[in-house]
């Protein structure tokens, strides 16, 4: 990222995956150690900061061990030792009081009326003998303000989803009861710009995670969470292979987008069972923190084509790869559209189908023009792209 010379940056990072994260348990100020995946996530975020983020001058963490460990693992690629992590008490997670470490069912049984009040007012509800998310976000903000006042340079601050979400929600002037709309996955980051003095930090980039978290384990988690059917997963995997072949055909000038296109293909139908599945999938990916993949998926079924630009976009590549992948098999473009046309039951559907076919033909022409007279690899995808009439 390009450093704004008039501001410094504060990176808020959530800790990595914790041991009880798959349980429906209320975890605030109790200790819950990182899993091996959580350690890996912290490293991934540290590597992202090393490659793409601002130079980090100091590292701070909540006093809970999962944050100290995340800070240490994330800061290692940045050249910091564990001893360099500065612990700040006010950064700790919300105090859930009497309900601390209870399963949700136990908390509901403990006080059904209070539990219902919490469900109705997520951010304002004060936990029995504890605090509210609103209070915890304000407390976190005061701790962060003190850090800002006492330390110069770009800062990495590792804390918890609850306090970061509530702080960011209040910073943006959003109703605190809507705080869960702020996506912040494990080892996810929020970038703040800070111009110092009495100014309030501004949110430059909301909760995101490095694309590298979309590895085999990360994909499996997404497929389970969103109930993606097996046949849809297999289709996405085949589409990813098709897209990868198209990138190879286009040549070295497209090597920089290969992984991004492949990752987008592996999730483009994540919410296939939902209405308007492209928009639903893009929204899910944004909430999960994959904010660079979500726009590709959002556009993949209707990409805007800028004929003034020579470069073919990731969304165009994904669109075309999807259109020549029928289930788990390659299919010539005209044959694929002839099959899908039979499913159109209205004039409106036929018009949209024709428009999408023309869009696919336009993208194919752009790919052919980009490839030019290069020798065509003996690959089924390349043959379909370059030789079909």
163 with 230, same domain: the answer is no
Residues spanned by the domain of 373: 214-387
Rounded Cα gap, residues 123 and 42, in angstroms: 27
110 with 208, same domain: the answer is yes
Asked if the structure places residue 3 within a domain, the reply is no
Asked whether 187 and 89 are in contact (CB, 8 A), the reply is no
Structure confidence at residue 302 (pLDDT): 72
362 with 376, same domain: the answer is yes
Q: Select from 212, 247, 264 the last residue of a domain.
A: 212
How crowded is residue 305: how many other Cβ atoms within 10 Å of its Cβ?
15
| Contacts of 195 by beta carbon, 8 Å cutoff, 6+ apart | 6, 7
Counted domains in the chain: 2
Give the number of residues written for the chain. Answer: 389
Beta strand 189-194 pairing with 85-87? unpaired
Asked if the structure places residue 267 within a domain, the reply is yes
Closest CA to 300 of 209, 239, 253: 239
Rounded Cα gap, residues 103 and 37, in angstroms: 23
327 with 375, same domain: the answer is yes
Higher pLDDT: 374 or 194? It is 194
231 with 284, same domain: the answer is yes
Average pLDDT estimate for 129-154: 97
Asked if the structure places residue 2 within a domain, the reply is no
Higher pLDDT: 47 or 346? It is 47
Asked if the structure places residue 381 within a domain, the reply is yes
Reported as half-sphere exposure (CB side, CA atoms, 13 A), residue 95 has a value of 12
191 with 331, same domain: the answer is no
Rounded Cα gap, residues 13 and 86, in angstroms: 14
Token pair in block for residue 335: 């044959």
Asked if the structure places residue 156 within a domain, the reply is yes
Q: How high does pLDDT run on average in the chain?
A: 94
Domain harbouring 74, CATH code:
3.40.50.1240
Which residues, in sequence order, are bridge partners of residue 208? 189
Angstrom distances, CA of residue 367 to CA of 261, 320, 389: 15, 10, 14
Rounded Cα gap, residues 229 and 251, in angstroms: 33
Rounded Cα gap, residues 126 and 117, in angstroms: 9
Average pLDDT estimate for 346-357: 89
Asked if the structure places residue 1 within a domain, the reply is no
Average pLDDT estimate for 74-99: 98
How crowded is residue 323: how many other Cβ atoms within 10 Å of its Cβ?
24
Q: What is the pLDDT of residues 180-210, one digit of tens each?
A: 999 999 999 999 999 987 889 999 999 999 9
User: Residue holding tokens 């609850």?
Assistant: 162
User: What is the torsional sign of CA 238, 243, 248, 252?
Assistant: negative
233 with 379, same domain: the answer is yes
Beta strand 58-61 pairing with 85-87? parallel
257 with 341, same domain: the answer is yes
Structure confidence at residue 100 (pLDDT): 97
278 with 146, same domain: the answer is no
Average pLDDT estimate for 272-281: 92
Structure confidence at residue 240 (pLDDT): 98
In the chain, what percentage of residues exceed pLDDT 90? 83
Buried (b) or exposed (e) across 358-384, using 16+ Cβ within 10 A?
Answer: ebbeebbebbeebbeeeeeeeeebbeb
**Band of residue 388 on the pLDDT scale cut at 50, 70, 90:** confident
Higher pLDDT: 342 or 303? It is 342
In the predicted model, is pLDDT for residue 5 greater than 70?
Answer: no
Asked if the structure places residue 288 within a domain, the reply is yes
Q: What is the pLDDT of residues 109-121, one digit of tens each?
A: 999 999 999 999 9
Asked if the structure places residue 184 within a domain, the reply is yes
Structure confidence at residue 389 (pLDDT): 77
Q: Select from 180, 212, 244 the last residue of a domain.
A: 212
Domain harbouring 318, CATH code:
1.10.3210
221 with 102, same domain: the answer is no
Q: Select from 142, 177, 212 the last residue of a domain.
A: 212
Rounded Cα gap, residues 217 and 202, in angstroms: 33
* Helix residue ranges per DSSP H, the chain: 36-52, 65-75, 104-110, 112-120, 133-150, 161-171, 216-225, 230-250, 258-267, 277-288, 294-299, 314-323, 333-341, 347-371, 380-387
188 with 298, same domain: the answer is no
346 with 378, same domain: the answer is yes
Q: What is the pLDDT of residues 15-31, one digit of tens each?
A: 999 999 989 999 999 99
Structure confidence at residue 305 (pLDDT): 66
Q: What is the pLDDT of residues 203-236, one digit of tens each?
A: 999 999 999 999 999 999 999 999 999 999 999 9
**Residue 212 DSSP label:** G
């Amino acid at each position: 990222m390009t450093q704004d010379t008039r501001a410094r940056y504060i990176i808020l990072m959530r800790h990595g995956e914790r041991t009880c994260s798959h349980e429906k348990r209320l975890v605030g100020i109790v200790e819950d150690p990182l899993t091996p995946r959580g350690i890996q996530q912290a490293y991934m975020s540290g590597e992202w900061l090393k490659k793409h983020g601002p130079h980090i001058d100091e590292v701070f963490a909540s006093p809970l061990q999962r944050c100290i460990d995340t800070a240490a693992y994330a800061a290692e690629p940045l050249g910091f030792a564990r001893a360099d992590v500065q612990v700040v008490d006010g950064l700790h997670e919300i105090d859930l009081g009497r309900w601390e470490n209870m399963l949700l069912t136990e908390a509901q049984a403990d006080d059904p009326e209070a539990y219902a009040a919490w469900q109705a007012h997520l951010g304002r509800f004060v936990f029995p003998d504890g605090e509210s998310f609103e209070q915890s976000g304000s407390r976190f903000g005061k701790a962060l303000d003190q850090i800002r006042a006492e330390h110069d340079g770009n800062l990495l601050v590792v804390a918890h989803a609850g306090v970061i979400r509530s702080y960011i929600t209040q910073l943006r002037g959003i109703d605190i009861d809507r705080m869960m709309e702020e996506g912040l996955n494990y080892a996810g980051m929020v970038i703040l710009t800070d111009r110092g003095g009495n100014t309030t930090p501004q949110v430059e980039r909301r909760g995101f995670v490095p694309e590298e978290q979309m590895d085999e384990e990360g994909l499996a988690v997404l497929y389970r969470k969103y109930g993606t059917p097996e046949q849809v997963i297999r289709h996405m995997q085949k589409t990813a292979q098709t897209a990868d072949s198209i990138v190879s055909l286009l040549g070295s000038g497209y090597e920089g987008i290969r992984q991004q296109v492949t990752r987008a293909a592996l999730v483009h139908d994540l919410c296939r069972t939902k209405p308007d599945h492209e928009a639903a999938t893009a929204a899910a990916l944004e909430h999960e923190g994959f904010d660079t993949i979500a726009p590709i998926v959002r556009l993949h079924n209707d990409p805007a084509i800028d004929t003034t630009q020579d470069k073919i976009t990731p969304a165009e590549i994904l669109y075309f790869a999807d259109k020549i992948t029928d289930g788990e098999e390659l299919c010539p473009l005209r044959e694929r559209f002839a099959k899908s046309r039979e499913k159109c039951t209205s004039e409106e559907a036929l018009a949209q189908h024709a428009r999408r076919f023309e869009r696919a033909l336009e993208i194919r022409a752009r790919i052919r023009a980009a490839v030019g007279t290069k020798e065509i690899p003996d690959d089924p995808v390349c043959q379909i792209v370059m030789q079909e009439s």
